[in-house]
């Protein structure tokens, strides 16, 4: 009985730590120059931006930044429609899924929201 209790506690601790750190552990530290200038068509860079995404979200407050500040940090968006800028994140590491970062600006050109899509 004592041994099964220790196993149960260990499992609970592991699950709790996994939930706590979910989204906080990044595959690669965000690097503005790599984000902007790496050849994303090169096989070695197919998931470069995706692997930097958690570091970007956790270490840079994008909400409240101006459009020009975002472009300075991330470069020219891959697409821009009305008040949204989108950046391709490449392959997500989950099969052939790709990711996209969508940044929504308010009427003054200030970031009000951002979303990461996978699909």
Summarize pLDDT for 54-90 with one digit per residue, the tens: 899 999 999 999 999 999 999 999 999 999 999 999 8
Q: What was the pLDDT predicted at 87? A: 95
Q: How far is 98 from 11, CA to CA, in rounded Å?
A: 32
Is the pLDDT reported for residue 53 higher than 60? yes
Q: What was the pLDDT predicted at 16? A: 58
**Domain hosting residue 78, numbered range:** 2-118
Q: What was the pLDDT predicted at 109? A: 94
Q: How far is 65 from 8, CA to CA, in rounded Å?
A: 46
Tokens 């500040």, residue located: 69
Q: How far is 104 from 119, CA to CA, in rounded Å?
A: 19
Q: What was the pLDDT predicted at 70? A: 97
Count of domains observed in the chain? 1
Q: What was the pLDDT predicted at 119? A: 78
Q: How far is 78 from 90, CA to CA, in rounded Å?
A: 12
| Average pLDDT value for the chain | 84
């Amino acid at each position: 009985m004592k041994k099964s209790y220790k196993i149960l506690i260990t499992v609970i601790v592991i699950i709790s730590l996994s939930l706590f750190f979910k989204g906080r552990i990044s595959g690669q530290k965000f690097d503005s120059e790599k984000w902007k200038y790496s050849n994303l068509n090169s096989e070695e860079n197919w998931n470069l931006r995706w692997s930097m995404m958690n570091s970007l979200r956790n270490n840079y407050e994008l909400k409240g930044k101006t459009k020009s500040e975002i472009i300075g940090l991330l470069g020219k968006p891959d697409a821009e429609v009305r008040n949204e800028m989108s950046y391709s994140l490449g392959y997500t590491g989950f099969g052939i899924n790709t990711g996209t970062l969508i940044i929504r600006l308010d009427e003054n050109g200030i970031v009000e929201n951002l979303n990461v899509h996978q699909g």
